[in-house]
Chains A and B, each alone.
Chain A
Amino acid sequence: MANNDYVLELEHIRKEYPGVIALKDVTLQLRRGEILGLIGENGAGKSTLIKCCSGAVIPTSGKIKINGKEFTRMTPQLAAENGIAIIYQEFNNVGELSAAENMFLGRPILKKNGIVIDRKAMEEEAAKAFEQLNIKINPRTLVKNLSVGYQQMVEIAKAIQQNAQVLIMDEPSAPLTTNEVESMFKVVELLKSRGVSIIYISHRLEEIFRLSDRIEVIRDGEYVDTLITDKDPATIPHQVDELIKLMVGREMTQKYPPREPCIRDEVVLELEHVYGNGDQDISFKIHAGEVLGLGGLVGAGRTEIAQVIFGARPKESGKIIFMGQEINPKSPRAAINHGIALLPEDRKRHGALLTNSIKNNIAMPIYERISKGTVINKKREHSIAEGYREDIQIKCPSIHQLVKNLSGGNQQKVILAKWLAAQSKLIIFDEPTRGIDVGAKFEIYKLINDLVEDGVAVLMISSEMEELMGMSDRIIVLAENKMMGELQKNEFNADLIMSYASGVVPEDKKVKEAS
């Protein structure tokens, strides 16, 4: 049988929820010892699909075959017994237990008496598994003391120790640093060479090209196409365009919408030697109608300074001058009253009120303004929310819908609408497009353009170099909680930004500043 080539086959998988079809018709075939890249926009159904493989979700119809054997009803136990393992974005580790204990969680090795856990044997087995993967982890270390990268390795080692034939990885690189990503790649390639099949899900296309043998695209719960990866660097840009087209379903002609220069003379925000929240001596100005990019590595202190400006963390010293007046916001409420807004990096935890309606989210900062005494003017509440829904095109059946049921891009729009309703004069975007799919990104960029054209000042924190350079009028780079350099639009250069971000001021730059 030719089908024996395939370790895992999903045929015409369909999953319906009341009112929503998560998967319409997805087919996926995974060969022995290959890496299959799985891509699609947010909400395309990738997560649901992998949950079908693990038995966490039961498909409405369709077939799942493992090694040619058909399973009508997959359960988590069956999936594990048949060698399917999933590394989720959020790990299933218990922080208070050691690496070895985590590996044998729920299936401990017992001593001969059958009662007492044989810790030594477990530690030896764990050490063996780590050795196989060429990683150095002490099996006795508590998992909470391991770096995120090593925590992930513990999960992978656990899967291998359980003889996983198929490893499904959901955005494995998202929480990792650059170095950790590199070691994760090595482990993945090592596993492949040992005949393990891998489904690799990622938004980062360059990773997909680096690792995968084939790339499958799904869109709106449907199978779109499978391409064979061509690793020739010359053809990659063309392939990327092709893949984006397949994912989005239309041509993406430009990544960043053009913007007429609209910087005004008026200074909206000025920081003078601000210390606080770990940051040291931060000084900069933002004008009305300007996008100031804030670059740097994760942990460089960008979010920290945003929190100080927004009143979420206290300032230690220095001056914050807003619209010509010195302010010292002690709470987000105080900052909002001045006209400062923050769209946080972690949208689901800090930004949107997921269990509240779109309408309530939008009106949240202005309830006291649209109430008489304590009684809400519901007509105004409704018309304001409806107005923004139309203005910035929040895609939803009604403004009474809960925000948790929206896609990432639309959630971000709701948060933006909230700050527009509060008539903010300075809007801080912390990673405005993280986890947002390609199509919705473009819309967010257009909205930022509209804002500055209306004279709003924008401070944009971004770790995506292209986004930073594509959207900013000026860029300030931080490293280790200090300002490293400032670049005007004509100086934008990825290498220069990177060297600033690594805390290095290039020689020629130093000379220029001195002269």
Chain B
Amino acid sequence: MNENKFLSVFKQNAIWLVFIIEVAIFAYFNPKFLSLPNIVNISRQVSYYGIASIGMTFVILIAGIDLSIGSIIALVNVVCAYLMMNMGWNMWLAILISIAMATLIGVLNGWMVASIGIPAIIATFASQTIFRGCAYLLSGGLPIPGVVLENPTFGFFARWSLNRWEIFKAMGDVGLIPICAIIMIICFAVGSFILNKSYFGRYFYAIGGNEEASELSGIRVNKMKYLIYALSGFFAGLAGIVLLSRSGSAQSTAAIGFEFEVITCVVLGGVSVAGGIGKMSGVIAGVLIIGSLKSGMIMMNVSEYTQMVVQGLVLAVAVGVDCFSKKRQAS
């Protein structure tokens, strides 16, 4: 019995072992991989899909999918920059409006999926196209540069450490942790809280397991779908702001194919695409694995094309192992 328990705990956390092995391999080939600047760098790169992965986790937990987040990020970039640079709005107001807009796009997705009944893959694919188009229209396809240059505070989201940000100077030194990574950590904490401590998490797992039975158990399934797609939009919006503060220039072509990277992280982290199964800690591991894989391969001078091949293989193998073990259990 005890042995079984050990085995199941081990199995549940096997993803972290994969992460450790991966890091060990990269560190073996390039000792600089574990150097402080590189770790900080990885944490910055990882943060923007880490933040978006939280909303995606909820969506996939209820057996849905959200293909619109890449376009939401692009639109948030363009709108936020447009409001600040072309209209001269206050930075905080522009950020607030952009994130609110992202959340509303999520609500629109929820409406299409829950109230109209369009399959999630089609509904969110439609919004992907629509809002990418909106981003192009608003920007005329041209970048809106100078966001951080003219609003130095905006760069705060991407800063290397809190102590460089003037307002927080008095509060002391958080050292080298980039602020975008801190935002990501807070988001993961919020995600974990929603999944484990609040009743919403219980509802999400229930709906992913069986929608009809959930409705008949008193869960308002449609309301929850609205909430989940809205959350996905919200987290994508936040990720968009982080990206803008890093690049300093809004691109309507930003984050193309981004949703698939996020889906990779989430599924790699053990969230079942069939719904109902998955943990936030697994998703964190998934995000870290993909993040360090990218960074490690760049350091080993692996070409971008090869990186794509490797990333695809990782996804197929990770999901394959999971599915295979389930299949074997069944027979």
Q: Which residues of A approach B to under 8 Å, CB–CB?
A: 17-19, 56-58, 310, 312, 331-333, 336, 342, 344, 349-356, 360-361, 363-365, 367-368, 371, 374-376, 418, 422
The yes or no answer to B212 lying at the interface (CB within 8 A) is yes
B219/A374 in contact, CB under 8 A? no
Q: Which residues of A contact B331 (CB under 8 A)?
A: 56-58
Give the CA-CA distance A116 to B197 in the complex, in Å.
Answer: 60
Chain B residue at smallest Cβ distance from A404: B209
User: Which of B205, B215, B218 has the largest count of A CB atoms less than 10 A from its CB?
Assistant: B218
Q: Which residues of A contact B215 (CB under 8 A)?
A: 312, 331-332
Q: Which residues of B contact A371 (CB under 8 A)?
A: 198-199
Given contacts A355-B277, A356-B205, A360-B206, contact A312 B216 (CB under 8 A): yes
Q: Which residues of B approach A to under 8 Å, CB–CB?
A: 4, 197-200, 202-203, 205-206, 208-210, 212-220, 276-277, 329, 331
A355/B199 in contact, CB under 8 A? no
A353/B199 in contact, CB under 8 A? no
Q: From residue A329, how far is it (CB to closest CB) to chain B in Å?
A: 11
Give the CA-CA distance A185 to B16 in the complex, in Å.
Answer: 58
Interface of B, secondary structure class, is helix
In addition to A349-B212, A353-B217, A355-B277, 19 A-B residue pairs with Cβ atoms within 8 Å of each other are A18-B4, A58-B331, A312-B215, A312-B216, A333-B218, A333-B220, A342-B216, A344-B216, A350-B213, A353-B206, A355-B276, A356-B205, A356-B276, A364-B202, A364-B214, A364-B218, A367-B199, A371-B198, A376-B197
Q: Which residues of B contact A350 (CB under 8 A)?
A: 212-213, 216
Given contacts A58-B331, A356-B206, contact A351 B198 (CB under 8 A): no
Chain B residue at smallest Cβ distance from A368: B199
Give the CA-CA distance A354 to B205 in the complex, in Å.
Answer: 11
Q: From residue A22, how far is it (CB to closest CB) to chain B in Å?
A: 12
Choice from A333, A351, A367 contacting B213 with Cβ under 8 Å: A351
Given contacts A355-B277, A374-B200, A375-B197, contact A349 B217 (CB under 8 A): no
Q: Which residues of A contact B203 (CB under 8 A)?
A: 367
B218/A354 in contact, CB under 8 A? no
Q: From residue A57, how far is it (CB to closest CB) to chain B in Å?
A: 6
Q: From residue A400, how far is it (CB to closest CB) to chain B in Å?
A: 12
Q: Which residues of A contact B214 (CB under 8 A)?
A: 353, 364
Q: Which residues of A contact B200 (CB under 8 A)?
A: 374
Choice from B4, B197, B210 contacting A353 with Cβ under 8 Å: B210
B277/A374 in contact, CB under 8 A? no
Give the CA-CA distance A26 to B85 in the complex, in Å.
Answer: 79
Q: Which residues of B contact A353 (CB under 8 A)?
A: 206, 209-210, 213-214, 217
Q: From residue A417, how far is it (CB to closest CB) to chain B in Å?
A: 12
Give the CA-CA distance A373 to B315 in the complex, in Å.
Answer: 38
Q: Which residues of A contact B197 (CB under 8 A)?
A: 375-376
Given contacts A336-B218, A365-B218, A418-B217, contact A376 B277 (CB under 8 A): no
B218/A375 in contact, CB under 8 A? no
Q: Which residues of A contact B205 (CB under 8 A)?
A: 355-356, 360
Chain B residue at smallest Cβ distance from A418: B217
Q: Which residues of A contact B217 (CB under 8 A)?
A: 332, 353, 361, 364-365, 418
Give the CA-CA distance A422 to B219 in the complex, in Å.
Answer: 13
Given contacts A349-B210, A352-B213, A353-B214, contact A367 B202 (CB under 8 A): yes
Q: From residue B221, how far is it (CB to closest CB) to chain A in Å?
A: 10
Chain B residue at smallest Cβ distance from A58: B331
B202/A332 in contact, CB under 8 A? no
Chain A residue at smallest Cβ distance from B7: A18
B198/A374 in contact, CB under 8 A? yes
The 6 A-B pairs at the shortest CB distance, nearest first, are namely A367-B199, A355-B209, A374-B198, A365-B218, A336-B218, A364-B217
